[in-house]
């Protein structure tokens, strides 16, 4: 297993984008999702990425999460030039440093909450007893103690998203990416999820990057980055909350 050598110093940003573009398709049908984005995120931040549909916020997050690759530009994660990594090296980056929460939860069906949360640890090669202990711990953190053996079909939307968050944090990632994590939930459930994320950021120092198009969800973040037409429109600390 090839490990990735970091050249990190204390004040180095965890994420740094320079002139990143993303083009889908070619020629006449080409769609410019990102037109040159510069972005810097430091350890321990809670960043909300906002913008209307098609503004490029999700594309940007997918690139940050190494789920997608930029067409041009430089992306440094903890000082590593991500675009020079192979596909498998990017997978290992996700495995060891990144966590994901999706709008649609994306849990495995007919699989218990515990096994869903265990999954990333299996790919890490963690021994069974350690895996179980961590998974129980993560489910407790998200407030699902006692629901370990339930399958997604037996859980509410809010509970499913908590399982997804537990799965994302069980590996203690450096950065947690959340793509519209409350998009399918009602206001009360949304607030619970956001409180959970704030707690993770505050108490465990997890860097969080969240995509949302709802102002009152973005209000929970410490910093709001607004996208428009594939460019960063504004990038400022969240005055109301911080």
Partner 1 sequence: MLWNTILLALRDIRRNVMRSVLTILGIVIGVAAVITMVTIGGGATVQVTQQIASMGSNLLMVSPGKRLGPGQSTGDIPFKQADAEAIARDISSVAAVAPVSSQSIKAIFGNQNWSTQVTGSDNQYFRVTNRSIKSGRQFSDSELRSGAAVCIVGETVLKKLFGGQEAMGEKIRLQKLSCEVIGLMEAKGQSTMGTDQDDIVVIPLCTYQRRIAGNQDVGFIQISVQGGVATEKVQQDIERLLRERRHLSPSDDDNFNVMDMKEIIKMLTGTTQLLTALLSAVAAVSLLVGGIGIMNIMLVSVTERTREIGVRLAIGALESEVLMQFLVEAVVLSSFGGLIGIVLALAASVWLAEILHVPFVFNAGIVLIAFLFAAVVGVIFGYFPALKAARLDPIEALRHE
Provide the binding-site residues for partner 1, judged by CB under 8 A. Answer: 62, 65, 67-69, 87-88, 91-92, 94-96, 99-100, 102, 106-111, 115, 119-120, 122-125, 167, 171
Q: Of the two residues 103 and 224, which places its CB atom closer to partner 1 in the complex?
A: 103
Q: Of the two residues 67 and 219, which places its CB atom closer to partner 1 in the complex?
A: 67
Nearest-approach distance from CB 65 to partner 1, in angstroms = 8
Q: Which of 232, 241, 199, 237 is nearest to 50 (CA)?
A: 232
Maximum alpha-carbon separation in the chain? 55
Cα gap 66→109, rounded to integer Å: 25
Q: Of the two residues 126 and 197, which places its CB atom closer to partner 1 in the complex?
A: 126
> What sign for the dihedral angle of Cα 64, 67, 68, 74?
positive
Q: Of the two residues 172 and 186, which places its CB atom closer to partner 1 in the complex?
A: 172
Q: Of the two residues 21 and 111, which places its CB atom closer to partner 1 in the complex?
A: 111
Cα gap 197→74, rounded to integer Å: 29
Nearest-approach distance from CB 220 to partner 1, in angstroms = 24
Cα gap 188→110, rounded to integer Å: 27
Nearest-approach distance from CB 236 to partner 1, in angstroms = 28
Nearest-approach distance from CB 8 to partner 1, in angstroms = 20
Sheet holding 46-50: strands in order across? 98-101, 175-179, 207-211, 46-50, 223-228, 231-237
Burial class for 164, CB neighbours closer than 10 Å (0-12, 13-18, 19+): buried
H or E element, residue 155:
none
Neighbours of 145 (CB within 10 A): 11
Burial class for 26, CB neighbours closer than 10 Å (0-12, 13-18, 19+): exposed
Nearest-approach distance from CB 126 to partner 1, in angstroms = 9
Q: Of the two residues 74 and 119, which places its CB atom closer to partner 1 in the complex?
A: 119
Q: Of the two residues 124 and 222, which places its CB atom closer to partner 1 in the complex?
A: 124
């Amino acid at each position: 297993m090839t490990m990735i050598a970091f050249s990190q110093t204390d004040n180095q940003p965890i994420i740094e984008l320079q002139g990143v573009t993303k083009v889908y398709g070619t020629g006449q049908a080409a769609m410019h999702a990102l037109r040159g984005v510069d972005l810097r995120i430091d350890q321990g931040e809670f960043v909300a990425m906002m913008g209307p549909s098609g503004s490029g916020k999700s594309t940007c997050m997918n690139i940050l999460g190494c789920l997608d690759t930029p067409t041009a530009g430089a992306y440094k994660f903890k000082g590593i030039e991500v675009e020079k990594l192979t596909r498998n090296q990017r997978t290992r980056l996700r495995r060891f440093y990144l966590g994901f929460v999706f709008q649609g939860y994306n849990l495995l069906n007919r699989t218990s909450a515990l096994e869903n949360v265990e999954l990333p640890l299996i790919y890490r090669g963690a021994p069974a007893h350690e895996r179980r202990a961590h998974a129980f711990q993560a489910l407790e953190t998200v407030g699902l103690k006692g629901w370990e053996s339930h399958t997604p079909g037996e859980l509410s939307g809010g509970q499913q998203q908590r399982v997804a968050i537990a799965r994302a944090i069980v590996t203690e990632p450096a950065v947690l990416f959340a793509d519209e994590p409350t998009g399918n939930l009602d206001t009360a459930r949304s607030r619970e999820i956001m409180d959970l994320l704030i707690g993770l950021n505050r108490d465990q120092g997890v860097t969080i990057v969240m995509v949302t198009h709802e102002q009152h969800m973005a209000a929970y973040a410490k910093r709001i980055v607004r996208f428009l037409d594939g460019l960063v429109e504004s990038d400022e600390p969240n005055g109301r909350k911080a």
